Every structure is written in C-alpha cells, then in structure tokens.
Amino acid sequence: MKLPELPWMFLPSSSTPMFFEPVTRCLHKIWLPAALKSGRLCGSRGPWVFISTKDPEPQFTLYNLCNGEKRGRIDLPLTILDKQGVTRCARVEMAALSLPPSTAGYTVAAVVHIGQSLDYTIATWEFKEDHWTEIGSAADRVLDILFYQGSFHFLTSNEDLIRLVPEGPSFRMVRYHVELRSSKPLDDLYEAQDGTMLRRYLVESTAGHLLFAVKKTHCSKRTVDIKVFRLSVDDAGQATWVHYKNTAGEMIYLGQASSISCVTQSEPTIHFLDDRLVKSEDEADRYHRRDMGGLRPHVLQVSWYSYRTPNEESRFSYRAPDDIGATDVPTPVWCEPQSDGFTM
C-alpha cells in the first residue's frame, strides 16, 4: 500500500499502536516490538521515531515504523560523557535527527537530564559512539528542538534560540537572544488564567522560514488559539518574532520534536495533537487524547500589516473510533511514513 504524502499521527499504545491519517480520519494498526509499545515518544523524522522505555529495562531506541525490527532499529546509549570526561547516566527528554540514518554522517541531538538532575543539557551522538557527548547546559527550560537549514535549533522557555555550530569533531552552543517577544501578550492574557496551558513549537515553513508557534489550551481541555511567528533578523542583528502570514495551501502540523509543514491543494490549516498529559478521571492509568484537530487561519488587519491567524470559530476536531480517545502511553507524534521513498 502506498502511503499519502501528508503526515500521519503515530498513536502509541501498549496494546495496539496505530497510525491516524487526519484527512481521511482512518486508523491503521502497526506492529511494534512488545518492549517498545509502552515507550514514550521523544521526536521523529520521516518514518523514524525516538522511543524511550523503562520496563522491562531502560532503552532509548531510534525505530523505523516502516522497516521494522530487522532493518529499522538503532539502539542509542543511556550514558553521557560529561564535560569532565566522566561517564554518567542520562535520561532523554527529546531528540532530533540531522539526516535519515540511511545517510552517512548523520547526527542525533537531544535534550537530556544527567543523573537525577532536572537541568536541561544539550548533547549529541554520532553513529557507533558508546555515549552521548555533553555540549552544554541551557539556562532555561528547553521546549522544542528542530533541525533547520543544516543546524540543530532549540527553543527555550523565554523564546530565545540555541543553535549548535560545528567546531572541530564536536559542536558548540550559540545563544540567540530574541529582543522583542511577539507572543508576550499571550503570556499576559492566558497564563494568569487557571487551567490554561501554552505550548510552544518550532517548525520550518514550506518557504524555508523558521517559525515559532504558540498553542493555547483552555482549562486544560480544548485548544482554542494558535499564533504563528516568523524569525526576523534586521541589519543590526536584532532578532524578532514577527507575525507569520501563512501561504496558500500550506499545512502546518505541530508536535514536540515532530512538527512538519507541507504544501497541499487544500485550504491552509494548522493541525495539532494532544500533548496535555491529562489523565482520565475514571482510569488513572489512561491519558486523554481528545484535543486533536485543526484551526484554519483567517486574515486580520493590524495597522498597515495584514496576516493570517487561526480563530476558534474555524476549529475542527478529528472524528475517529473510540480507541483514539484515550491511551496508557502519552503522547502522539507526527511522522512521514512515505518519506525517502518508504512504503508499507
């Protein structure tokens, strides 16, 4: 079966993991090794997903959803070589690929916690290395990671960027301070409200712009607003997040370490998945994933400048069988099963 070019949502489950195709609203069962079914998803690229498991033993795996166990599994280390040259345990929060593993010279970058620390450490791994290599620590919480135009980019909680720049056999961290925070009104308006959550994502536009999206979920139940901004750097080097005008036929899919943009013949839409980690009231070991769907932008005029932004009236929810509604494994990620010519 040849898969459509648009991204699919990978829905983890310890019993029946599935693909969900947003356009047709169809579910497709997928086989996974038993040990990986209960794993937490930490990012994706194409058909490859990062899976972190605790039971029956800790593992961190890069797994190809199309090629399977024999040709599509890479086990990554659970230890890191820190700045002092000491090998320590590492827990991966999120990860990203520079290139598909079928390509020579690919690199994995990740946000990890060393030992019992909750600090956000940025690390890299090259093929056949025994450990992660510590690059440095982020002063603020890291919210997302994206491989963009040849470099790994990390979004921090104050909306600054960290970029990994090659230096000799390793990398160094370059911090970019964004002077003007275009989403600050969202913080002032929403974060003071009880039960309101803001999620932030990085994604590359179809035209090659670096985008930053803010998703607002009301009362921890329903996504009602998404604002998208584009990174703009002036001649003096000052960086600003400015409102982004979606191009016609552009689809944006938002998910931590898995965001994607695509060109389609359809109306511009921003798709989102449920990453709330909200547990069911009836079953303590079940997580809701009912807040999944899309928002269609409309044109607003701000002074002399017009831009497209979603509004709640354009919101739609995915309609699917009941088994999409809850799971014992959070949270979904976007993936592209057909990328690099893969079929299933």
Rounded CA gap, 279 and 86, in Å?
38
The answer to the question of residue 224 being in a domain is: yes
What is the model's pLDDT at position 342? 38
Rounded CA gap, 319 and 298, in Å?
23
Backbone angles phi, psi at 157, to 5 degrees: -65, -20
The answer to the question of residue 143 being in a domain is: no
What is the model's pLDDT at position 66? 86
- Residue 199: CB partners within 8 Å, gap ≥ 6? 143, 214, 215, 217, 254, 256, 275
- Give, in order, the Cα–Cα distances in Å from 54 to each of 10, 12, 91, 129: 20, 15, 10, 22
Burial of 68 (0-12, 13-18, 19+ CB in 10 A): middle
The answer to whether the beta carbons of residues 255 and 276 sit under 8 Å apart is no
Q: Is the pTM of this model over 0.75?
A: yes
Residue 12's identity, in one-letter code, is P
The answer to the question of residue 137 being in a domain is: no
Helix or strand or coil: residue 72? Answer: coil
The answer to the question of residue 332 being in a domain is: no
What is the model's pLDDT at position 224? 80
The answer to whether the beta carbons of residues 28 and 34 sit under 8 Å apart is no
Rounded CA gap, 135 and 155, in Å?
16
Average pLDDT along the chain, 344 residues, taken 10 residues at a time: 70 89 82 92 96 91 84 93 95 96 90 95 95 96 97 94 91 86 63 74 95 84 85 88 81 96 84 79 70 71 44 63 67 82 37
The answer to the question of residue 158 being in a domain is: no
What is the model's pLDDT at position 344? 36
The answer to the question of residue 169 being in a domain is: no
Task: Look at the chain and report how many structural domains it folds into.
Answer: 1
Joined together, the tokens standing for residue 178 give: 């964004």
What is the model's pLDDT at position 311? 56
- Give, in order, the Cα–Cα distances in Å from 163 to each of 117, 150, 173, 176, 177: 23, 10, 6, 8, 11
What is the model's pLDDT at position 305? 40
- State how beta strands 305-310 and 222-233 pair: unpaired
The answer to whether the beta carbons of residues 291 and 217 sit under 8 Å apart is yes
* Through-space distance between the first and last CA atoms of the chain, rounded to whole angstroms: 6
What is the model's pLDDT at position 6? 84
The answer to the question of residue 208 being in a domain is: yes
- Residue 305, domain extent: 179-272+291-324
The answer to the question of residue 329 being in a domain is: no
